[in-house]
Structure formats: C-alpha cells, structure tokens
Amino acid sequence: MPGFELFGEREREQVNEVLQTGVLMRYGFDGMRNNVWKARELEEAVAKRMQTRYAQAVSSGTAALTVALQSAGVGAGDEVIMPTFTFVASFESILAIGAVPILVDVDDTLTLDPKCVARAITPRTKVVMPVHMCGSMADLDALKEICDTHGLLLLEDACQAIGGSYGGKPLGSYGDLGCFSFDYVKTITCGEGGALITDNERFHKNADHYSDHGHDHLGSDRGADAHPFLGYNFRISELNAAVGCAQIKRLDEFLALQKRHYDIMRKAIGPIEGIAFRRVPAGGVENYSFLNFFLPSRPLAQKAQQALTEAGVDACFYWYDNNWHYYRKWAHLTHLTSLGKLPQEIVQQLPDYEKSNFSQSDHWVGRTLSCLVKIGWTRAEVEERAQKMAQVLKRVLAAPQ
C-alpha cells in the first residue's frame, strides 16, 4: 500500500471519461453524461469483489462508518463498542450521530478482545465495531457469537484491511455491515472516498437515501424526489469514483505485491530471538499492508523504532505514542472538546476515560512496531530493506539492557 504508488494510465483513462462528459456529480444530468455513471460502476465492482449484494460509495471511510451506523438505525444514546487502537474516525463517526463510543481493550490480534467486549455490553449497547487495523482481522467468529447472543449489530471497520479475508469471506462481508476507506494512503485509492457493503436490503436503501440528503432516488427527475427521512451529504464525486473504478480492478495485483514484500521482510526478521508476530485468527488471511511484530518490552520497542528510523528504514510506526491511532492521545475525546454543544446523551454517558484501565492494550500496543509495506518497491529495494531491518533489530536486542 498505498494504491497511488502505481497510479497510471488506467486511472487517467477512467477520469478522462468523466471529464469528456463534463458531469462531475453522481446524480442527475442524464442527457449530458453519455451513460457514464462511475459511482454506480464502482459500487457494482466493490459489491462483486466483496461478495455482497450491495455497496454504497461515499465521500470517505469516515462517511462510510457514519452512514452505516445511521442506516442501521443507530442514534442518540446508543452505545457502540470499539477498540482502543484504531483511527480517530471510528469514534468521530459514532459521536456524529449522537451515539456513545465505548472503548474496549485489544489483544494479541491488535484488535478487539472478545472477552472484553462481552464484559462491556449494557442495555444501551447496539453495535460491536471491530477495526481490522494494519491489515489483519479480529476474532470474528467469537464476536459474531456475542452479537447473536445479545441481538447486536456487527459492523466491520475494514478501512485498513481491504482484500483480507476470514473463513473464506472478504473482510467487511462477515458482519451485518462493512466499511472501507479509499483515501490517498489506502491499498486502493479514490483520492478521497469510501464505501459500505451489506447483504441487508433495508440498510442499503437507507444508506442510499441518507448519504444524499434523504433523496429517495425514485424516477429520473431529481427535483421530484421525495425525502422519506432526514439525510446529509456524503456523496462521492464522479471524478473520485472514476479513480476507484480503475483501482478496484487492480486490488489483487496490489495484494500480490504486498504479500511478496511482506514475506521477504518477515522471513528476514522472523528468526531473531525476541521478535514475535501479531496473532492472525485461524482462518484469517491478512491483506499484508503492514508487517506487525512485538518486541519484548515497551522500552525496547521505542529503542528499535528510533534505531530503524536512524538507519533509514522509514514508515515503521510505534503506535503507542501516536496522536491519531491510540487512546492515550485522544484528549479531545476524553474531555469532549468540541466547537459547539454536544448531545446530552454523549455528555452524560461517555465513560471517564482518564480513569479507565486499558493496561491490556498498553501491554500489546506498547510493544508493537508496524512497518508499512509499499507496493512500489523493487525486489532489490525490499531485500535491502529487510536485511537492514534484521541488522538493526539484532543489534537492539543484543545490547545490554
């Protein structure tokens, strides 16, 4: 990843089809567009690749999560269980509809721990949202059993794991709803964009309407559309969708490159004493966008990340101190720092995360390094990088502590 590394003629051809019509909006202007409907084309391609009945393309991964939640009827005061390790968009999408994010520990998968999820359920819980961080997935069988037992929705945030699978099913298709991001640094990109997938006809119909101001999209006269319920504008443009139409066709090409590069690096560092890899649940296949591994301690992980950077091995992330991806730096959530008044349901129900004990998450994330897997590398570049990583990690682990 990301898809922009191999951006080329196929993407330009798709965009030029839109520019030749002059219609940049996904709805209306039927007579001008010469039957060019790139958002529709992207939705059909995503649904087919993810083996679901429906896909709805939207303006971002954040929009996909927001629309997915609202399409399933989640709203003010409903609780959504999510992990401590994710991107801020996960809780932003929950707060945007007046719902309450309930943070829960991760385990050695670096995703939701099912045992902690079960303990966090209350009468207000509506959704369990596993986030398939850094290319791999949660224990979806265990989470699905919990959701079925308690009558909860399972919403997969697969924004960082498109192309991975679990039990032979594409990630995102296992739950009631799944979401993807197509932003500029994802495995496939639209520049800005996202999509949700589902087999539920009602959820899809709601998503279709809600993401376009509540338009019912019946008939060919947009001005005559009725509005069966309130909605907002989360539309994707035809230009962004056009880029996605090219990139979704290249997903398997990108995944093969990611796996090749991932395997080279993993083989190089795997034998090093003190290195352990994240657990991938049985039946799961990563999308290989990150190589994720544990060091024996938090200080060693910090030291290793610094040493790798100094050696010129870029894009190896230490999430424990990251502003965007780990709960420790989410003061704006903890203190509900907002430009305007928030719904009282959020103010009254949000747990006091300053007093929460997430030591289990700290244990795993504090020892984790995640190295980005680029698709634009040559084999020689990957092999050189892998050997440098091995040399640095051996040196760090062999040094007196």
Cβ atoms 77, 100 nearer than 8 A: yes
Which class for 9: exposed (0-12), middle (13-18), buried (19 or more C-beta within 10 A)?
exposed
**Pairing label, strands 194-198, 177-181:** antiparallel
Is the alpha carbon torsion for 364, 186, 40, 233 positive or negative? Answer: positive
- CA atoms of 311 and 257, how far apart (whole Å): 24
DSSP-derived secondary structure for 373-390: --SS--HHHHHHHHHHHH
259 is catalytic: no
Helix (H) or strand (E) holding 102: strand 100-104
- CA atoms of 351 and 327, how far apart (whole Å): 13
Residue 83, strand partner residues: 104
- CA atoms of 154 and 166, how far apart (whole Å): 14
Number of H helices, E strands in the chain: 14, 14
Which position among 186, 341, 355, 388 bears the catalytic label?
186
C-alpha closest to that of 197 among 349, 83, 79, 44: 44
At 84, phi and psi to the nearest 5?
Answer: -75, -20
Question: Which pair of tokens denotes residue 33?
Answer: 């567009």
DSSP collapsed to 3 states, 2-38: CHHHHCCHHHHHHHHHHHHHCCCCCCCCCCCCCCCCH
- CA atoms of 203 and 71, how far apart (whole Å): 5
Cβ atoms 161, 287 nearer than 8 A: yes
Is the alpha carbon torsion for 375, 378, 382, 383 positive or negative? Answer: positive
Active site residue ranges: 186
